[in-house]
Structure 1
Amino acid sequence: MELSPREHGPISIRLVRSRDARGLQQELLSNREWLRPWEATSPDGPTSFDMRLGVRRLLQQYRDGAGVPLVMEYEGEIAGQLNVWGIARGSLSSATIGYWVSRRFAGRDITPTSVALATDLSFGELGLHRMEICIRPENRASLRVVEKLGFRYEGLRRRFIHIDGDWRDHYAFALVREEVPEGVLRRWVNGAAPQDAAAIPPSDRLPA
């Protein structure tokens, strides 16, 4: 299925292309210190950093229906990447969103806008029912994304994903399609996203 690009103002998302590999690799290399605390790693040791191979694998997952790899752009320039991954069909009908944004584009609402666009695409064109985002307790910038968009807090996942060399705890947030009949982006732009949906109860709070 060919997905149409989505945009809001200067911010847009579109399916990654093979020719994006060079630009994405340049952004990743120039943002190593910025991104390292949040990047997934392998417990088996270092893996190859070859964006051309990475893009090929992502596009194969897309052809297999397992994921949708997207590029985030600001005024037509690559600003980061967003993946809808782990797509499950049938009775589950769900997926997870992961993303990174270049430091030079931080503070322009690129990530929340892109997450809203991708969630609306997933509920609409992809026909999914549930979207999840898992975030490290220390990642205040990402926690602000789910707070802005009104993703609902669902719980603490202990030692959930291997990141920056160790298994890290994550907070889980989600939305189901019935919660946002008007769309995630429109609800946020209209100021209708619930302000406390992403609130973390004291029993689950970890030192940031």
Structure 2
Amino acid sequence: MDLTASREHGRVGIRLVRNRDARVLQDHLLTNRAWLRPWEATSPDGAVSLDMKVGIRRLLQQYRDGAGVPFVMEYDGLVAGQLNVWGIARGSLSSATIGYWVSRDYAGRDITPISVAMATDICFEELRLHRMEICIRPENDASLRVVQKLGFRYEGLRRRYIHIDGDWRDHYAFALTREDVPYGVLNRWAEGQVPAHAADIPDSDRTAP
């Protein structure tokens, strides 16, 4: 399926990453090291390259293989960050996971929740997936606000789940299924219909050692 066309809502847009985005994405990553490092995936086998030319080529190959959809997030037509749909599974599972980062210069403008909503709608409506998941470190308050705004349902604590910032980190898991949002994630949020407490985390998970 061709997902190269930009999708927009107000000043925010998402589109498939292009090879020529490498320079601006690399600049964002290098100038936002302190901002992004605590939330970046790492590898237990050693350092991960920040060469965006190589990274984009790999992401686009995954797209061609049907394993993921790599988007850039834009604000007023300028690249503000990345949003990746990864781990696409078909058949009886029919699901995928969303990950994202935004440059500090663009934080606080609802770029990420709007982009996540549009990407989830694409996955449900055009890719015909059934379930979308977002996993977030308990310390990442900004990312937790995204799932709270959009009403992703809290589904539990995953121990030492993903290698982040040099070690295996606990994550909270949130998800939506297509039945949860029959009129779309973005429409539900724009119309003020998001369930108030869907993303609430129980005290037992908040205080777990």
- Calculate the TM-score normalised by the size of structure 1: 0.98
Deviation at 1:165, TM superposition (A): 0.7
**Counterpart in 2 of 1:152?**
153
Report deviation, 1:47. Answer: 2.2
Which residue of structure 2 aligns with residue 71 of structure 1? 72
Structure 1 residues 4-83: aligned runs within 5 Å: 4-83=5-84
Deviations 1:123-142 (A, max 9, x none): 01111000000000000000
Determine helix, strand or coil for the equivalent of 1:73: strand
Q: CA RMSD in A?
A: 1.1
Residue correspondence of structure 1 range 1-208 to structure 2 within 5 A: 1-3=1-3, 4-206=5-207
Q: Does structure 2 retain, via aligned residues, the 8 Å contact 1:87–1:93?
A: yes
Task: Give the 3-state SS of the residue equivalent to 2:92 in structure 1.
Answer: coil
Structure 1: which 4+ aligned runs deviate by more than 6 Å? Answer: none
Structure 2 segments unaligned to the other structure (5+ residues): none
Instruction: Report the CA distance between 1:6 and its aligned residue.
Output: 1.1
TM-fit CA distance, 1:206: 4.0
Amino acid at match of 1:2: D
Q: Deviations over 1:50-103 (max 9, x none)?
A: 100000000000000000000000000000000000000011000000000000
Give the deviation of 1:45 after TM superposition. 1.4
1:44 offset after TM fit, Å? 1.1
Structure 2 letter corresponding to 1:70: F
1:119, CA displacement in angstroms?
0.2
Aligned equivalents of 1:206, 1:32: Cα separation in 2: 29
> Percent same amino acid among aligned pairs?
77
CA distance in 2, matches of 1:120, 1:152: 16
Distance verdict in 2 for CA 1:40–1:206, change over 3 Å = farther
> 1:19-73 CA distances to partner (integer Å, 9 max, x unpaired)?
1111110111110000000000011111222100000000000000000000000
Of stretches 52-61 and 1-10 in structure 1, the one that deviates more from structure 2 is 1-10
Q: Report SS of the residue matched to 1:79.
A: strand
Secondary structure class of the residue paired with 2:198? coil
Question: Which consecutive unaligned segments of at least 5 residues does structure 1 have?
Answer: none
Q: What is the CA-CA distance between 1:5 and the residue it aligns to?
A: 1.8
Distance 2:24 2:56 in 1: 11
